Amino acid sequence: MAAQSNKLPRWKMRLLWSLLVLCLILTSLKLLDGPEPGLSFFSSSEVNDDSQEEALKLSVYGVLFDFGIQVDWITGDSHFKTVLVPADLPIVVPYTALVTRFGELGGALIKAESNPGGDRLTVEVGLKGKSLFQVTLLKDPELRRLAGKIAIVIDDFGYSFSSLVKGFIELDQEITLSILPGLDYSRKIAQAGFDAKQGVILHLPMEAKNDEVGFDDLILRTGLSETEIRDRVRKAVRGLPHIIGLNNHMGSLATEDEKLLSVMMDEVKKAGLFFLDSHTNFKTLAYGMAGEKGVPRAINDTFLDAIEEEPFIREQVYLLAEIASRKGQAIGIGHPEKLTLKVLKKELPKLERRGFQFVGIAELVK
């Protein structure tokens, strides 16, 4: 989402990283200037020594796994561990997190050191003057985390411009807003999303088998003439600023109609847009028709909030991560609900730390 900046020369980047590592090491060593052999960050008198020691040792794995470091990148024993840090993860990030976590658990920082190149960091941790273990982080330029790109599309915007809607627009991660045409707040949300550098697409109403879609003058229905289909698509596209593509709203019936889809995709191609098949019907022909017509396309992998319960939504978010790990990318569709926003705010930063990238749907169309 942030604007791209010009890259610094490689020697300057290496100098900056070396200075940053040096600052971190000096800060860590500063903590060792007290009269005791180790500095206890927090009082731990209420914690049993054995339990605290076990918690400190286990915390290493929790921190490392949180950044997507795999178990087979960790070697050694309970006293000396070596951790390979992948190329796409700055080595100072897990180092800082480890030091912070040890402090939270009442540990003592006995030693912290780095090699001149800044690609090797070591921290030794103790408890009440006793050395417990040492962790060495080694940068490995050949390793990459098993992560991928995730596009999250939020449907059904346009009914209001509430704090909930603003919450989605203001997410730190990039998402795509799918906006229904012709509603009171459709254009305002499209402008706000564009200004916030979120992707904006049209949520085009299409006939469902239960016939409960609405949008009588814009909905694409089976049985419409070719002229009516073209006019409705054009009207919906013209009515919403900043759109880069579209997906179907409902459409379990319309996405099985080859004639309707053929005409619709002709108009989508003329408008220079892409098509995201929401996959509301497992018999959908829309994705295939987009390909036949030369329209850039993508297809939804899962709905995040088909069941409006926090545990379910969380599981669906992590299903996207699992799909992205296997396929390199994943697409999920949600809706502007409080629980959905709550889960996204909580879980997306965790997945980012593991190396997943959240991108606009435009980056995943083919």
Q: Which CATH number covers residue 185?
A: 3.20.20.370
Please check whether residues 312 and 183 belong to one and the same domain. yes
Q: What is the pTM assigned to this prediction? A: 0.80
Give the end of a domain, one of 114, 140, 166: 140
pLDDT score recorded for residue 331: 98
The total of structural domains in the chain comes to: 2
What residues of the chain score a pLDDT lower than 70? 1-48
pLDDT per residue over 7-48, tens digit each?
Answer: 445 544 454 555 455 555 545 444 444 433 333 333 444 446
pLDDT per residue over 322-364, tens digit each?
Answer: 999 999 999 999 999 999 999 999 999 999 999 999 999 999 9
Please check whether residues 169 and 46 belong to one and the same domain. no
Please check whether residues 308 and 159 belong to one and the same domain. yes
Tell me if 321 is assigned to some domain.
yes
pLDDT score recorded for residue 229: 98
pLDDT score recorded for residue 21: 52
Please check whether residues 265 and 333 belong to one and the same domain. yes
Give the end of a domain, one of 118, 140, 162: 140
The 3-state secondary structure of the chain, one letter per residue: CCCCCCCCCHHHHHHHHHHHHHHHHHHHHHCCCCCCCCEECCCCCCCCHHHHHHHHHHHHHHHHHHCCCCHHHEEECCCEEEEEEECCCCCHHHHHHHHHHHHHCCCEEEEEEECCCCCEEEEEEEECCEEEEEEEEEEECCCCCCCCEEEEEEEEECCCCCHHHHHHHCCCCCCEEEECCCCCCHHHHHHHHHHCCCEEEEEEEECCCCCCCCCCCCCECCCCCHHHHHHHHHHHHHCCCCCCEEEEEECCCHHHCHHHHHHHHHHHHHCCCEEEECCCCCCCCHHHHHHHCCCCEEECCEECCCCCCHHHHHHHHHHHHHHHHHHCEEEEEECCCHHHHHHHHHHHHHHHHCCCEECCHHHHCC
Q: Which CATH number covers residue 117?
A: 3.30.460
Tell me if 2 is assigned to some domain.
no
Tell me if 243 is assigned to some domain.
yes
Please check whether residues 166 and 83 belong to one and the same domain. no
Please check whether residues 56 and 204 belong to one and the same domain. no
Please check whether residues 316 and 193 belong to one and the same domain. yes
Please check whether residues 172 and 284 belong to one and the same domain. yes
Please check whether residues 153 and 23 belong to one and the same domain. no
Residue 99 domain boundaries: 10-140
Tell me if 4 is assigned to some domain.
no
pLDDT score recorded for residue 214: 78
Tell me if 5 is assigned to some domain.
no
Give the end of a domain, one of 88, 109, 140: 140
Tell me if 171 is assigned to some domain.
yes
pLDDT score recorded for residue 212: 72
Please check whether residues 186 and 282 belong to one and the same domain. yes
Please check whether residues 188 and 272 belong to one and the same domain. yes
pLDDT score recorded for residue 216: 85
Tell me if 45 is assigned to some domain.
yes
Tell me if 3 is assigned to some domain.
no
Please check whether residues 133 and 188 belong to one and the same domain. no
